[in-house]
Structure 1
Amino acid sequence: MPTVRSDFSGPVDLGGMQAMCSRAWSPSARFHPGQLAWNRYSHAEEPDRVGADEAISLWRVGDEVVGFGWAESPDWLELQVDPAYPEVAGDVVDWFEDWSDAPRQSAVVMEGDGVEPVLRAAGFRPDRDGWHLTHHLLDLRELPQVPRVAGYRLRPVEQGEASPRAAVHRVAWAEFGPSRVSAAAYAQVMRAWPYRPDLDWVACEREGRMVASAVVWLDESIGVALVEPVGCVPAHRGRGLAAAVTLAALHRSRELGAHTAQVSPRGDDDYPGPRRLYQSLGFRPVARTVTWTRSMD
């Protein structure tokens, strides 16, 4: 059957993208379905519509999505192609070139992905020494116990707590700039598949205020639980709270049938803290991203 391209039109299309990522998941696959849910719903004010400087396009064979391109801006492309349909990679790159008017364009893919030869042929060149993400995996049979942290209570988030849950995320990530994760955005996250409140854990101080958090996204069809994101309020760091909420959420995911956990921290030396945290819990690196860039001048 021929491939058919269509532009993103809302939740049904995101579901098709997630289904492809679930079907094609491997330790070296770019996206877990939970990552797409977080990326789409935690930031976009109108997630069912693409933004002014954004474009998303999908390629289908019959009813199945077999590839997609997500241009988060005119100079930045995220993409994934089902390995069973490698020819779609060229269509995605051509689509991005037609849509973007940026003089310098970058695309992020996994190292060794079948998309890389297509990018090279289109004039992109890799930067293997710069910023990148590293997929880490953990066999949940080897999951450490949840530590007790004096003075804090660990618990899952409850429905109706989107506002305080968004607030703890914003404070934890404020050092990277103003966060767009509002209470309304987090409410969207909580309605998205495969979010579950019993896999969204927080640490609360004695007065009940949330001070650390971790979300785990479980794809039950493949038994893989993605950790994304984790954060701790600066004044409460150094006590092991980020590790504690992560482990608590992962223990619950194991109870629900997960056998593997995945997390994708930075792999370069500019921001090593999260990588060290996850490796201290037993996560081990298995694959990494590479940014490919070309000049259109």
Structure 2
Amino acid sequence: MAITLGQPQVDGLAEAVGVLREWQHDDAPMQLHPGDLGWYWRLSAETTAAAVRIWHRDGRMVALGLLDSPTLLRLVIAPDARPDEELARRLVADMTSVLPTGPVGIDAPAGAVIHDVLSEDGWGFDDPWTPLRRDLSEPVPDPGVRVEVVGPALVQARVAVHRAAFTVSTFTVERWHAMAAGIPYADARCLIAFDDQDNAVAAVTVWSAGAGRPGLIEPMGAHPDHRGRGHGKAITLAAAAKLRELGSSSVLVCATSANIAAVATYAAAGMRPLPEVRDRRRAR
């Protein structure tokens, strides 16, 4: 059975998002989520399409990769194809055309046979990440602060909180609108938390993959002028509650293990740390 590698046009992204939704399950490892494409969409639909790679076998999508940066491919594989060695070897062979020479990385689902093939090919491991999950079968506690869903009137405030929280960010009002116009944002919401002085203190974007499937937090940030007051925990609780309202079965997030404060914030909001995961790294 032939395996082919392709790059979608903009009008092909709807299929990619739909298949990614189908591949999300609570018992699956932390993996690329429709929300990851949705967050990337802030750079434009055309830029998102240019960063996506899709592998088909006999007309069926069996793997999808997102070039999250020029040197990092985030790869997701169809659940029933993760043990497929033929596919794994083809995916690794195709990295020569997908990634540049020199130091590069692959984020692949834990437990997939591709890790064995990567090891054979000399790929090592990068720094660890900590996935966290919260089950949403029960109601989520009230966050204890005022939280608003972002609409046109709050876009500037949402962008301002994000840029303050992530000082190297290039997020803008225009990029928020590009993201909000994307296919994945139909199942997403941006939220802002306000303190009792009406300051915007934290913000988050949550992405549903559909009813009965895990939702994603990407990204979450607290304004540095208001940190240390529980606002990160509060907006994370609000995010979980919003995803539950949207029908999600659980909420997922992933933080670098070295970011102890972020991991602690998510844990304080009732998210359970899962076993660490590592990107694969090739130095040559």
Q: TM-score range by the shorter chain?
A: 0.7 to 0.9
Aligned to 2:136: 140
Deviation at 1:181?
Answer: 1.1
Q: Within the alignment, does 1:7 sit opposite 2:7 as a pair?
A: yes
Bigger fraction of residues in helix: 2
**Which letter does structure 2 place at the counterpart of 1:2?**
A
**What residue is the counterpart of 1:36 in the other structure?**
37
Unaligned runs of 5+ in 1: none
What is the CA distance between 1:79 and its match in structure 2?
1.4
Equivalence for 2:105? 106
Distance 2:162 2:216 in 1: 17
- Tell whether the 8 Å contact from 2:211 to 2:249 is kept in structure 1 after alignment: no
What is the deviation of 1:196?
5.2
Moved more, 192-201 or 222-231: 192-201
| Residue in structure 2 matched with residue 164 of structure 1 by the alignment | 157
In structure 1, distance between residues paired with 2:269 and 2:204: 14
| SS in structure 1 of the partner of residue 66 of structure 2 | strand
| Sequence identity percentage | 25
Report the CA distance between 1:104 and its aligned residue. Answer: 2.4
Relative to the length of structure 2, the TM-score reads 0.85
1:246 counterpart letter in structure 2 = T
Distance 1:224 1:212 in 2: 23
Which sections of structure 2, spanning at least 5 residues, go unmatched? none
Paired with 2:3 and 2:222, the residues of 1 have a C-alpha distance of 45
For residues 49 and 230 of structure 1, do their structure 2 counterparts lie closer, same or farther at Cα, with a shift above 3 Å needed?
A: closer
Aligned pairs for 1:235-274 within 5 A: 235-266=225-256, 268=257, 270-274=258-262
Aligned length: 279
Give me the whole-angstrom Cα distance separating, in 1, the residues matched to 2:66 and 2:204: 25
Q: Tell me if structure 2 keeps the 8 A contact 1:41–1:186.
A: no
- 2:202 and 2:236 map into 1 onto residues whose CA distance is 10
How far the C-alpha of 1:234 sits from its partner, in A, is 0.7
99 and 64 in structure 1: CA distance in 2 versus 1, 3 angstrom threshold = closer
Native 8 Å contact 2:211 2:246 kept in 1 = no
How far off its partner does 1:159 sit?
3.5
Output the amino acid matched with 1:226. L
Whether contact under 8 Å (2:38, 2:182) holds in the other structure is: yes
Per-residue deviation, residues 235-288 of structure 1 (Å, max 9, x unmatched): 11122222222222322322332221112122x2x2111111111122112343
Structure-1 residue corresponding to 2:91: 92
1:177-256 → structure 2 map (5 Å cutoff) = 178-195=168-185, 199-205=189-195, 208-256=198-246
Q: Is the 8 A contact 1:226 1:262 kept in 2?
A: yes
Per the TM alignment, residue 209 of structure 1 is displaced from its structure 2 partner at its CA by: 4.9
Q: RMSD of aligned C-alpha atoms?
A: 2.7
Cα distance between partner residues in 2 of 1:77 and 1:169: 24
**Does the 8 A contact of 1:7 with 1:58 survive in 2?**
yes
The separation in 2 between residues aligned to 1:255 and 1:72, in whole angstroms, is: 29
Q: 2:47 maps to which residue?
A: 49
Shift of 1:210: 2.7
Structure-2 residue corresponding to 1:277: 265
Q: What whole-Å deviation, never above 9, does each CA across 1:60-103 have from its counterpart, x for those lacking one?
A: 24554211233344532221221323333322322221344422
1:155 corresponds to which of 148, 155, 171: 148
CA distance in 2, matches of 1:285, 1:25: 19
Paired with 1:126 and 1:197, the residues of 2 have a C-alpha distance of 34
Q: Offset at 1:206? A: 6.0
TM-score between the two structures when normalised by the length of structure 1: 0.82
Q: Which position in structure 1 is the counterpart of 2:116?
A: 117
Q: Any runs of at least 4 consecutive aligned residues in structure 1 with deviations exceeding 6 A, and if so which?
A: none
The 1:75/1:253 distance shift into structure 2, 3 A limit, reads closer
